[in-house]
Structure 1
Amino acid sequence: MTSSPLATARYRAIFFGCWLALALLLAATLSWFGLPLELAFSDSFISSGLLAAACWLISGNLEYYRPQQARYLYIGIWCFLLALIWTTSLYYLLPVLLETDPRYETFLLASLPVRFSTGLLLLGWMAMISVIWYNQQEQQASLRRKSETEKLAREAELFKLRLQLQPHFLFNSLNSINALIGFKPQEARKMVQQLSEFLRSTLRKDDSQPVLLAEELHLLELYLEIEKMRFGHRLQTEISADETSKNLKLPPLLLQPLVENAIKFGLYDTTGQVCINVKAQAKENNLEISITNPYDPQTATKRTGTGFGLTGVQRRLYLLFARQDLLQTRAENQLFTATLKIPQTL
């Protein structure tokens, strides 16, 4: 496990600050025991420097290898051995480096048990803090990886849902263009232009970037113009949105599959005119959009398709908002209504 650069820099700063505080505290203690100030500072900085090296060694090892909980005794053994090595080093190095009189050597020998105990205690604390610190860093890194994996999976599923939408609508439009070419070439040409403009606009959309309702309604109108070329006078639409709602946001291309669903179940089982009503309004902190189409349960037949309609929209909303209650449907008085509720947290 490798810590982030910021976490590593913070850890080193804390370590250096603690080492400096320890050195000053040790110098003050030695001076209080009667050592000259210069000798006390020399002893302190050499002793604390070697101890800091031992602490850094055990901390560095624990960054890359941490025994299982049942084997934490190994850490205790490491601390004991390092404390013993540190104390022995002080006994042989300090008299040579400081060139002091025999009285200091006597003081040093008498202080070794205290130094050993202090070193063992500080190494133990360092080992414990290091284990906690690195375990926490590893847990945070694991959570970040899990979050990134879930995000990639969510984006992949959203992309898959988008891929379901485009070919389905494109095939229907191309079939209609093919039917118009023979006897209405002007309308076929117009439909090709509208289809080109619609696809150019939708290909630039990204599920991670919400759009204003005004933009979505513009795309919806392009889509409906193409559908009206297919169904002629039989398809009528009414779209209404107040000025406040037009400035609210929603995921791109969310309305088209719902309107397509309304057209399919509103027109396919009737021969007369059908009006699809789209109404948007702002309610509290939500954008609420209702799409209504005539529906006769006596004549309607169950149809199969790509499965993108209501189910696809419900899945997209769950992936984006982690909520299952944002799409509601009801059928009453021979009207089928799908109601979207988009929280304005985008």
Structure 2
Amino acid sequence: MPLMLSLTDSSVHVILLGAAGVIISHNVAYYRPSADAMKFGYVGLLSFALAILWVCLSRWILVTTYPENSEYLNWLNNAIPIHAFVGWMTISGTGFRSQMWYDAVDQQKDQKRKEDTQKIVKDAELFKLRQQLQPHFLFNSLNSINALIMLRPKEAREMVLKLSDFLRGSLKQEDDHWITLEEELKYLQLYLDIEKVRFGHRLSTNVVREESTQKLLMPPMLLQPVVENAIKFGLYDTTGEIVISIRSWLEGQLLYISIENPFDSESSLPNKGTGFGLSSIQRRLYLLFARQDLLETKSANGIFTTIIKVPQTNDKSSNN
């Protein structure tokens, strides 16, 4: 076969075969049956039709170009079955690869939509949990202020100012903005100052923290509900003084924070009465870290202990 004839034959077949591949690729991009069996059948039939069209169109162009070359035309006619089979395999292979690629793209988009939806739901639930904590705390504080107004107006004013500072700080906190343990403890101190106005000398705190934990990151407003729970079970059922101990340390990639408070084992059941505060913290930790083992409670020898574990991952952002 002459060189020019060979080049023409190859060019016509390759160009038209490429066009058939583009056609089937674009076709499966816009229409793919939902059932897997129908997908394979659809691509198989479409590629077969395109292969026949490719053979016919290529033959027509070449016959029109070389109408008097009987030897070449005879060879071209004999090669039709081979061309049809090769064309079908090539076009169907392109179609199946395109179909799998577009299916993978669709799955990634679906997964992204699911993740976005789950994030919206998670953020909404986190926001709801934190908003539920505020009325609970406000209810107790306002009741205390109401009780102090007539008896100790100076302390009532002091408590209003501290409550204002506490609420102003809470408005700035968001679950997706992490803060250091040092910042969390400063914020917690505002809450404790409010409670000390309520309970006076009966409430004392002892904070022990390792120096290495000062700058470790954690979700904001995580400790206040725990301390509120400690005050509830430590002071409400007793008449004496209590000390709430707060301790932090680092083990591996976990920041440990323990809160201990004494309780009267005869008048309270702290292991059952963890209340909304601790359950909300456990839910927040699960939503943030997808782990159920980050909150522990135990009681022994008249001491109730709550332990919070905060994973130190690398995808946190601080307000600083």
TM score, norm. by length of structure 2: 0.89
Equivalent in the alignment of 2:133: 165
Q: Are residues 1:49 and 2:15 paired?
A: yes
Displacement after TM superposition at 1:179 (Å)? 2.6
Match of 2:31 among 65, 69, 81: 65
How many residue pairs match? The answer is 311
Q: Are residues 1:188 and 2:156 paired?
A: yes
In structure 2, the residue corresponding to 1:299 is in which secondary structure? Answer: coil
Instruction: State, as a whole percentage, how many aligned pairs show the same letter.
Output: 48
Counterpart contact for 2:179–2:217, Cα < 8 Å:
yes
Stretch deviating more after TM superposition (212-221 or 187-196)? 187-196
Q: Are residues 1:255 and 2:231 paired?
A: no
Counterpart contact for 1:275–1:294, Cα < 8 Å:
yes
In structure 2, the residue corresponding to 1:269 is in which secondary structure? Answer: coil
C-alpha distance in 2, partners of 1:207/1:43?
67
Q: Residues 3-46 of structure 1: CA distance to partner in whole angstroms, max 9, x if unpaired?
A: xxxxxxxxxxxxxxxxxxxxxxxxxxxxxxx331x554444333
Change over 3 Å in CA distance of 1:238–1:207 after alignment to 2: same
Structure 1 residues 237-252: aligned runs within 5 Å: 237-252=205-220
Match of 1:309 among 266, 273, 277: 277
Equivalent in the alignment of 2:169: 201
Displacement after TM superposition at 1:315 (Å)? 1.2
Question: 1:88 is matched by which residue type in structure 2?
Answer: C
Counterpart contact for 2:271–2:299, Cα < 8 Å:
no
Question: 2:300 is matched by which residue type in structure 1?
Answer: E
Counterpart contact for 2:270–2:304, Cα < 8 Å:
no
Displacement after TM superposition at 1:193 (Å)? 2.0
TM score, norm. by length of structure 1: 0.82
Match of 1:148 among 116, 121, 125: 116
Displacement after TM superposition at 1:109 (Å)? 3.5
C-alpha distance in 2, partners of 1:128/1:76?
9
Counterpart contact for 2:247–2:259, Cα < 8 Å:
yes
Question: 1:134 is matched by which residue type in structure 2?
Answer: Y
Counterpart contact for 2:175–2:219, Cα < 8 Å:
yes
Change over 3 Å in CA distance of 1:215–1:41 after alignment to 2: farther
Any gaps of 5 or more consecutive residues in structure 2? none
Any gaps of 5 or more consecutive residues in structure 1? 1-33
Match of 2:97 among 129, 139, 144: 129
Displacement after TM superposition at 1:215 (Å)? 0.5
Q: Are residues 1:294 and 2:262 paired?
A: yes
Stretch deviating more after TM superposition (212-221 or 313-322)? 313-322
Displacement after TM superposition at 1:132 (Å)? 1.9
In structure 2, the residue corresponding to 1:308 is in which secondary structure? Answer: helix
Task: Please tell me the root mean square deviation across aligned C-alpha atoms, in Å.
Answer: 2.4
Equivalent in the alignment of 1:35: 2
The one of the two structures with greater contact order (alpha-carbon pairs below 8 A, sep at least 6) is 2
